[in-house]
């Protein structure tokens, strides 16, 4: 559990879910934003990250190739559910290389867990995170038809 405040809701990349939980998305190609570090981070990458720790207390890897879908539905559900649960009291961050496709898709899945109807989750994330989030038709399909809590 975080010792300090949760994310600043006005900070770049921070998505406020309908429940009020805050989750930050970002691209690993971009510098770490100013402010507190995440308590729990999820790396959405095709290969296991070989990066120096960026200060997150706990980092999980979800195998998710670029422009594709998660390699394991069960693992995606488990990790994204944990991220959603932990966002109630911790700083949770989701990242891929660019911060839009995989990160946007994962954020939309978390929005579904938070009560946003699957058919509205992509639009919700595009309106409240980034207008280009969830880049491919199959990523939209995954949120709307495949990802169920």
Q: DSSP of 118-147, one letter per residue? A: HHHHHHHHHHHT-TT-S-SHHHHHIIIII-
**Is position 10 within any domain?**
no
**Is position 100 within any domain?**
yes
**Is position 7 within any domain?**
no
Task: Point out the residues of the chain with pLDDT beneath 50.
Answer: 1-2
Residue 56's CATH number: 3.90.190.10
How many domains is the chain built from? 1
pLDDT value at residue 147: 78
CA-to-CA separations, 1 to 23, 38, 42, 47, in angstroms, rounded: 15, 11, 16, 28
pLDDT value at residue 142: 95
**Is position 129 within any domain?**
yes
Q: Say whether pTM exceeds 0.85.
A: yes
**Is position 1 within any domain?**
no
pLDDT value at residue 67: 85
pLDDT value at residue 90: 96
pLDDT value at residue 134: 97
User: Residues 126, 129, 132, 137: is their CA dihedral positive or negative?
Assistant: negative
**Is position 9 within any domain?**
no
Domain that holds residue 114: 15-146
**Is position 78 within any domain?**
yes
Question: What are the E-state strand segments in 1-149?
Answer: 14-16, 22-27, 40-45, 58-63, 92-96
**Is position 3 within any domain?**
no
pLDDT value at residue 105: 98
Tokens 């990160």 identify what position? 103
Tokens 């600043």 identify what position? 8
pLDDT value at residue 81: 97
Specify which residues 93 forms β-bridges with: 24, 41
């Amino acid at each position: 559990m975080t010792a300090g405040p949760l994310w600043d809701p006005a900070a770049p990349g921070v998505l406020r879910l309908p429940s009020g939980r805050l989750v930050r998305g970002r691209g690993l190609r971009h510098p770490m934003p100013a402010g507190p570090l995440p308590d729990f981070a999820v790396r959405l990458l095709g290969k296991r990250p070989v990066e120096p720790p960026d200060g997150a207390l706990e980092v999980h890897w979800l195998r998710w190739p670029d422009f594709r879908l998660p390699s394991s539905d069960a693992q995606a559900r488990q990790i994204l559910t944990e991220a959603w649960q932990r966002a109630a009291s911790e700083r949770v961050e989701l990242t891929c290389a660019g911060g839009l496709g995989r990160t946007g898709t994962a954020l939309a899945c978390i929005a579904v867990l938070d009560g946003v109807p699957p058919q509205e989750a992509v639009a919700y994330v595009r309106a409240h995170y980034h207008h280009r989030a969830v880049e491919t038709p199959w990523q939209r399909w995954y949120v709307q038809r495949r990802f169920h809590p």
